[in-house]
Structure 1
Amino acid sequence: MDTSREVILVGEFLPIQERVTNISERLEADFSKIDTKIHRFPPGLQGIGDRYIVPSVVALGPYHHGAPHLQKMEEVKHAAARCFCEDSHHTIEEVYAKILSEAKKARSCYDENEVAGFSEEDFAEMMFLDGCFLLEYIGGINNKSPFLVNSMVLSTGPCMLRDIMLLENQLPWHVLEALMTFKHVGVSEFIVNVIQADLDKKNHAGEFEKNVDHEVPHFLGLARLYVTSNMRPVLSHHPDGDRTTRPLSAVRLAEMGVKLKSSKVACFADMSISKKGWFFAELSVSPVFLNDSTTCWLVNMAAFETSTSKGYPSDGFHISSYLSILVMLMDKEEDVHELRAQHIVHSFFSNQETLDFFKAIARNLRLGHRCFVISKEIEDYEQDRRRWIIVHKFLYHHWRKIVTLISIASVLVGIFKTLISLDKSH
Structure 2
Amino acid sequence: MEEASPLSESSPLSEASIVIDLKASLLRELDTLWGNANEAENFTIFRTPHNISQTKKNLFEPSVISIGPFHRGQKHLRAMEEQKMRFLRDFLFRGDHLSLDLCISEMKLFEGRTRRCYSETFDDLDSNAFVKMMLLDGCFVLEYFSKWYGGGDLYEVGWNSNFINRDLLLQENQIPFFIVDKLYELIGLNQDDRMDFVKYIAYGLLPIGSIIQDPRTETPYTIIANTLAEFPDPPVEIHHLLHLCYHYLVPNPGIPVVLNSKPFDLTRMFSANRIIKGLLHRFRSRVLRGRSPHSTPRSLSVALPNSAWNISSMVIPSATELKQKGLKFKPKSNPKHMLDISFEYGALKIPRLIFDDSTELIFANLLAFEHSKYGKENIPFTSFVAFLDNLVNTPNDVTILQECGIVENWPGSEEELAHFINQVTKGTSFTSDHYLMELVSEVKRYIESHRMKSSWKRQREKLFRDYFSSPWKVISLFAAFILLVLTSIQTFYAVYAYKYPPSS
Please say whether Structure 1 and Structure 2 have the same fold, judged by a TM-score greater than 0.5. Answer: yes
Secondary structure of the residue that 1:338 maps to in structure 2?
helix
Equivalent residue for 1:282, pick from 341, 347, 356: 347
Equivalent residue for 1:255, pick from 320, 324, 328: 324
Equivalent residue for 1:328, pick from 390, 394, 419: 390
Q: Distance in 2 between matches of 1:245 and 1:139?
A: 44
Cα contact 2:88–2:140 (8 A) shared by 1: yes
Cα contact 1:162–1:293 (8 A) shared by 2: yes
Q: Distance in 1 between matches of 2:454 and 2:238?
A: 47
Structure richer in helix, relative to its length = 1
Q: Judging changes above 3 Å, is the alpha-carbon distance between structure 1 residues 327 and 78 closer, same or farther for their aligned structure 2 residues?
A: same
Match in the other structure for 1:349: 412
Q: Which amino acid aligns with 1:293?
A: S
CA deviations 1:136-170 (Å, max 9, x no partner) are: 22223597887x5344xx62342212110101111
Equivalent residue for 1:39, pick from 46, 70, 84: 46
Q: Distance in 2 between matches of 1:88 and 1:290?
A: 42
User: 1:16-35 alignment to 2 at 5 Å?
Assistant: 28-34=37-43
| In the alignment, structure 1 residue 103 sits paired with structure 2 residue 138 | no
Cα contact 2:171–2:365 (8 A) shared by 1: yes
Equivalent residue for 1:93, pick from 90, 101, 118: 101
Match in the other structure for 1:382: 447
Q: Distance in 2 between matches of 1:85 and 1:48?
A: 42
Q: Distance in 2 between matches of 1:389 and 1:95?
A: 73
| In the alignment, structure 1 residue 173 sits paired with structure 2 residue 177 | yes
Q: Which amino acid aligns with 1:216?
A: I
Q: Distance in 1 between matches of 2:425 and 2:148?
A: 39
Equivalent residue for 1:265, pick from 335, 339, 351: 335
Q: Which runs of 5+ in 2 are unaligned?
A: 1-29, 213-219, 259-309, 458-504
Greater alpha carbon shift after TM alignment, 382-391 vs 93-102? 382-391
Cα contact 1:288–1:346 (8 A) shared by 2: yes
Q: Which amino acid aligns with 2:202?
A: I
Greater alpha carbon shift after TM alignment, 61-70 vs 84-93? 84-93
Match in the other structure for 1:53: 60
Q: Distance in 2 between matches of 1:30 and 1:243?
A: 35
Taking only aligned residues, the RMSD between alpha carbons, in angstroms, comes to: 3.0
Secondary structure of the residue that 2:64 maps to in structure 1?
coil
Equivalent residue for 1:301, pick from 366, 390, 407: 366
Secondary structure of the residue that 1:257 maps to in structure 2?
coil
- CA drift of 1:103 comes to 1.5
CA deviations 1:352-407 (Å, max 9, x no partner) are: 11111112224333346024333222111112221345799xxxxxxxxxxxxxxx
Cα contact 2:253–2:337 (8 A) shared by 1: yes
Match in the other structure for 2:255: 233
Q: Which amino acid aligns with 2:199?
A: S
Q: Distance in 2 between matches of 1:52 and 1:246?
A: 26
Q: Judging changes above 3 Å, is the alpha-carbon distance between structure 1 residues 342 and 170 closer, same or farther for their aligned structure 2 residues?
A: same
Q: Distance in 2 between matches of 1:378 and 1:27?
A: 46
Q: Judging changes above 3 Å, is the alpha-carbon distance between structure 1 residues 112 and 249 closer, same or farther for their aligned structure 2 residues?
A: closer
CA deviations 1:95-121 (Å, max 9, x no partner) are: 3322222122111112343x1111111
Larger Rg: 2
| In the alignment, structure 1 residue 136 sits paired with structure 2 residue 206 | no
Q: Distance in 2 between matches of 1:338 and 1:145?
A: 43
Q: Judging changes above 3 Å, is the alpha-carbon distance between structure 1 residues 359 and 166 closer, same or farther for their aligned structure 2 residues?
A: same
Match in the other structure for 1:159: 163
Cα contact 2:205–2:245 (8 A) shared by 1: no
Alignment: residue pair count: 351
Match in the other structure for 1:124: 131
Secondary structure of the residue that 1:385 maps to in structure 2?
helix
Q: Judging changes above 3 Å, is the alpha-carbon distance between structure 1 residues 243 and 363 closer, same or farther for their aligned structure 2 residues?
A: farther
Q: Judging changes above 3 Å, is the alpha-carbon distance between structure 1 residues 390 and 217 closer, same or farther for their aligned structure 2 residues?
A: farther
Q: Which amino acid aligns with 1:100?
A: K
Identity %: 24
Q: Which amino acid aligns with 1:225?
A: H
TM-score by length of 1: 0.74
Q: Judging changes above 3 Å, is the alpha-carbon distance between structure 1 residues 86 and 283 closer, same or farther for their aligned structure 2 residues?
A: same
- CA drift of 1:47 comes to 3.8
Q: Distance in 1 between matches of 2:41 and 2:78?
A: 35
Cα contact 1:40–1:167 (8 A) shared by 2: yes
